[in-house]
Amino acid sequence: MNWKIPAALLAAALAYPFIFRSNFAINFGVLVLFYALIGQAWNIAGGYAGQLSFGHAVFFGTGAYCSTILQLKLGWNPWPGLAAAAGAGALVGALIAALSFRFGLRGSYFALITLAFAEVFRILTNAVEFTGGGLGLLIPLKRGAANFQFAERIGFYYAILALAALSIGIAIWLKRSRFGAQLAAIRENEDAARALGIDTYREKVKVMALSGALCALGGSFYAQYYLYIDPTVVFGLDKSAEMLLVAMIGGTGTVYGPLIGSLLLTLVGEVTRANTEAQGLSLIIYGSLLILIIGFLPNGLVELFKLRWRRKARA
């Protein structure tokens, strides 16, 4: 394993806030790493294991509500709440996977059932009183690193950097591990993988639990960063679409694809939001990029870098 690339990326990410000191630049870095995290969460299930999901927001929202409710209703500190959110996301992921795969749901059927679960969770949180209903939950401002509310945005930057680095580390491990090889076999041909002796049901449940845990970490971070959540925001279809776009445009089933996709889509989003006359343009650009990627680069933008490296190697 060549560790030069992840080491160089980590060094660049650690140095970024000291080079670009403005709040805008640091907020941009936070968003890039945030979308890289949740995009990698989707990629682990959809890219590595081939279990395409249209409803990953169910894990994102579970993490956001779990940590927030523990903090507001039971007085938990947000840091243990982060771990609890990951556990809740893993539990929901395993539950949805167990119910879906037990009845043989695959492909588009599984994608639709995850979308249905996300919508069910949105309706439930909208109707139940202790979740704040449609009004959502507002987290009181209590500045301090111990409360996961940093006085400067650079604190949030390094927090999300640690989570994004964890997700990339897991992706690298999957590329090298027996578990990752089994997931690749399931992705390519599930029937053949089963014939080879792989317990496809167990492995798919495990990967959905892992994906759900990472996605829930993103939801918990989102709640602390914005100090407000509601059912439409955290369980909405747009969150699921963002994760899918980040992974597919960057490159599904790759380690750095979600990071590349996140950088591009965050840049497009920030540029179009800065132009008040171009509201909604980002959605058009996202859709156009996805069409181009599917048509000309089915393996995502990361394929461009691979082609360049191959040409250099030949030279």
Q: What is the pLDDT of residues 175-203, one digit of tens each?
A: 999 999 999 999 999 999 999 999 999 99
Give bridge partners of residue 229 from the DSSP assignment.
137
Whole-angstrom distance, CA of residue 309 vs CA of residue 245: 25
Position 66 pLDDT exceeds 80: yes
300 is a domain residue: no
- Single-letter amino acid code for the residue at 47: G
pLDDT > 70: what percent of the chain? 94
From 111, 131, 6, select the one nearest 55 (Cα to Cα): 111
Q: How far apart are CA 218 and CA 166, in angstroms?
A: 12
For residue 12, pLDDT beyond 70 = yes
- Joined tokens for residue 19: 């080079």
Q: Would 111 be classed as within a structural domain?
A: yes
| Rounded-to-integer distance, Cα 130 and Cα 226, Å | 20
Statement: residue 306 has pLDDT above 80: no
pLDDT at 291: 83
Q: Is 278 a residue whose pLDDT tops 60?
A: no
* pLDDT value of position 273: 72
SS3 state of residue 229: strand
H or E stretch covering 120: helix 107-127
The total domain count for the chain is 1
Name which of 244, 247, 277 is nearest 260 in CA terms: 247
pLDDT at 313 over 90: no
Q: What integer pLDDT is reported at residue 288 of this predicted model?
A: 82
Report if residue 279 sits inside a domain.
no
Q: Is the pLDDT of residue 1 over 60?
A: no
Residue type, 55: G
Q: Which of 269, 262, 266, 267 is nearest to 247 (CA)?
A: 262
E strands, the chain, where? 137-138, 228-229
Write down the mean pLDDT value for the chain.
Answer: 91
Q: Could you tell me if residue 142 is inside a domain?
A: yes
Torsion of CA 190, 193, 194, 196, to 10 degrees: 160
Residue 315's pLDDT is what?
62
How far is Cα 271 from Cα 263, in angstroms, rounded to an integer?
12
Q: Please indicate, yes or no, if residue 275 is contained in any of the structural domains.
A: no
What pLDDT score was predicted for residue 299?
80
Tokens of 140: 């009181």
Is 163 a member of any domain? yes
Joined tokens for residue 175: 């590329």
What is the model's pLDDT at position 277? 59
**278 phi/psi in degrees, rounded to 5:** -115, 35
The predicted pLDDT at position 162 comes to 97
More confident of the two residues 280 and 90 = 90
- Half-sphere exposure of residue 78: CA atoms within 13 angstroms, side-chain side: 25
pLDDT of 120 higher than 80: yes
pTM: 0.93
The single residue listed with the structure tokens 């399931």 is 186
Rounded to whole angstroms, the Cα distance separating 58 from 124 reads 12
Range of the domain at 122: 4-236
Q: How far apart are CA 258 and CA 32, in angstroms?
A: 10
Average pLDDT over residues 310-315: 64
Cβ atoms of 240 and 117 within 8 Å: the answer is no
- Contact status, residue 261 vs residue 39, Cβ threshold 8 Å: yes
Residue 271 lies in a domain: no
Q: pLDDT at position 284, please?
A: 79
Residue 29 placed within a domain: yes
Helices 23-43, 153-176: axis angle to 10 degrees equals 30
Q: Which residue has the higher pLDDT, 281 or 151?
A: 151
Worst-scoring range by mean pLDDT, 112-121, 140-149, 282-291?
282-291
Q: What angle do CA 77, 80, 84 make, to 5 degrees?
A: 120
Q: What is the pLDDT of residue 30?
A: 97
Q: What is the mean pLDDT of residues 147-165?
A: 95
